[in-house]
Amino acid sequence: MGKDPIISIRGAVYSYKGAPSPALCGADLEVLPGEWVALLGANGSGKSTLAKICNALLEPTQGDCFSLSMDCRDPACVPLIRQGAALVFQNPDDQIVASIVEEDVAFGPENLGLTSGEIRRRVDRALELTGLSEHRRRGSHSLSGGQKQRLALAGALALEPKVLILDEATSMLDPEGRAALLECLRELNASGMTLIQITHIMEDIARAGRIAVMQSGRIVWDGLPADFWRGEYLRFGFDEPGELALYRELISRKMIPEGTRPIAEDMAEALCL
């Protein structure tokens, strides 16, 4: 028997007040527990709106949305969905709620009414995972852009969500910060967390197990990265990541098996087999 989806959106339509056309016009997305899905698409294609539907921040005007087997339309489920399918946005300044780093991370768990010991455990873990432990007593607003993005992620992780939705949440990181964050996401995914990652940065998606592309408020392509990198990415006008030329060469010479992901360590591993 297959696993039940952890996110199931069918025919979602959403119109912002006063907007000339709907932001979502019949979007379908199913995500299974433990998947890492990269959600791509041009500006204005509806990615953030879909993310907010997954997290019950917005209610679709038509269609169905179930997150963690709960109906996003049921007011009693909304707080549970927001905690269990946590959303991290692009602009960290909008997400800072307390003036000290560790207090900011503690904000979510405190609102869940947890014991002080449990709050401390979650804050320590979230700070460690995001590499912010040494900055815990600093002023939240004194952090760099990249550190603030990691702080926003730590706040989400402290909720111990089953699903983490990242909406361009790595855009302010330098290459080193991005690599560290991707490693952190890899560990979280390996330990069972479901990831939905919205990004314009091709390097970010190399680790995803599945790629979904949005256009004009719909998912128009959904499949495996190997198929995407075989040519679909050109159809949608995406840049190719640095490793892709080498990847294609290795595949065409049959030096690595089809389905190997175009990331340096996977290619190196496949070459060593």
Ligand X SMILES: Nc1ncnc2c1ncn2[C@@H]1O[C@H](COP(=O)(O)OP(=O)(O)OP(=O)(O)O)[C@@H](O)[C@H]1O
16 belongs to the binding site for ligand X (CB under 6 A): yes
Taking the complex as a whole, the smallest distance from the CB of residue 260 to ligand X amounts, in Å, to: 29
Contact residues for Mg ion (CB under 5 A)?
47-48
Taking the complex as a whole, the smallest distance from the CB of residue 19 to ligand X amounts, in Å, to: 4
Taking the complex as a whole, the smallest distance from the CB of residue 46 to ligand X amounts, in Å, to: 4
Residue with tokens 């990831």: 195
Out of 1, 2, 19, 272, name the contact with ligand X by CB under 6 A.
19
Q: Of Mg ion, ligand X, none, which one does residue 49 interact with (CB within 5 to 8 Å by kind)?
A: ligand X
In contact, 91 and 169? CB cutoff 8 Å: no
Distance between CA 34 and CA 188 in Å, rounded? 10
* Spatial CA neighbour of 85 closest among 52, 53, 47, 55: 55
Distance between CA 100 and CA 260 in Å, rounded? 43
Q: Of Mg ion, ligand X, none, which one does residue 41 interact with (CB within 5 to 8 Å by kind)?
A: ligand X
Which residue is closest to Mg ion by CB?
Answer: 48
In contact, 55 and 4? CB cutoff 8 Å: no
Taking the complex as a whole, the smallest distance from the CB of residue 16 to ligand X amounts, in Å, to: 3
| Closer Cβ to Mg ion, 133 or 171, answer by number | 171
Q: CB burial class (10 A; 0-12, 13-18, 19+) of residue 234?
A: exposed
| Closer Cβ to ligand X, 125 or 200, answer by number | 200
Beta bridge partners of 86: 164
Taking the complex as a whole, the smallest distance from the CB of residue 216 to ligand X amounts, in Å, to: 9
Taking the complex as a whole, the smallest distance from the CB of residue 10 to ligand X amounts, in Å, to: 18
Residue 75's CB is within 10 A of a number of other CB atoms, namely 10
What residues numbered 30-69 form the site for ligand X, per CB under 6 A?
41, 43-49
252 belongs to the binding site for ligand X (CB under 6 A): no
16: tokens are 């912002």
The number of residues that bind ligand X (CB under 6 A) is 11
* Spatial CA neighbour of 148 closest among 104, 92, 199: 92
| Closer Cβ to ligand X, 12 or 182, answer by number | 12
DSSP letter, residue 2: P
Stretch that binds ligand X, among 15-23, 58-66, 112-120, 149-157 (CB under 6 A): 15-23
Beta bridge partners of 212: 39, 222
Interface residues with ligand X (CB under 6 A)?
16, 19, 23, 41, 43-49
